[in-house]
Amino acid sequence: MNALLLIDIQNDFVPGGRLAVPDGDAIIPLVNALQPQFDLVVASQDWHPAGHHSFASSHADRSACDQIELHGLPQTLWPDHCLQETPGASLHPDLETHRVEAIFRKGTAPEIDSYSAFHDNGHRKATGLADYLRGRGITEVYLAGLAGDYCVYFSALDSLAEGFATTLITDATRPISADGFRAALADLQSKGARLLESPALLAPQEA
């Protein structure tokens, strides 16, 4: 059994959003086309309270993209984004959601960021995603979404650590940094993840 995990395809992460991933909305038609190929489709959603400690605005004399230590963990400071109950936190309106069986929200604890859909950055609390997937009989996880060098990457790392056969669909994700994405993909491959482009999944089956 396999699952497609859609990472953070939200309004604030596409062009015009507060933390836009370049060309982020371009993946949406492809992600929609991929969904019927999987036994299960689930999504993650960044869901920050106001004043989250990962926001640059929460720190005096700090700017977005500054690097700090936050409660013992390295932290990039971000613009305010994906605030709970705001339009920016909503899943993109063009994303088809009728096949999405569950949505796992992350980044809800103000004192710690959560890139991965499975755990916060300190692995102090789980979202429940891994247990949900195991309960549904899932053994293979395929990932797509935003951003490839952050939330998709860390979700893939945790998927591997949780024991799932893990595949990142490279053309169904977009990164903030092309160089960062190349490094992320190399690291994932070195740890046993597979990289795949969508035609391998969408190609018509031979009779």
Catalytic, out of 8, 113, 120, 158: 8
The H or E element containing residue 59 is none
Catalytic, out of 25, 46, 80, 151: 151
∠ Cα 63 66 72 (to 5°): 125
Q: Could you tell me how far CA 62 lies from the centroid of its own chain?
A: 25
- Whether residue 106 lies in the annotated active site: yes
The beta strands (E) that lie in the chain are given as 2-7, 40-46, 67-70, 73-76, 100-106, 140-146, 165-174, 194-196
> Quick one: which of 148, 145, 40 has its CA closest to 95?
145
Residue from 106, 120, 149, 158 carrying the catalytic annotation: 106
Please say if 82 is a catalytic residue. no
Q: Which residues of 11-30 are buried (b: 16+ CB within 10 A; e: fewer)?
A: bbbbeebbbbbeebbebbeb
Residue 65 known to be catalytic: no
* Active-site residue list: 8, 106, 151
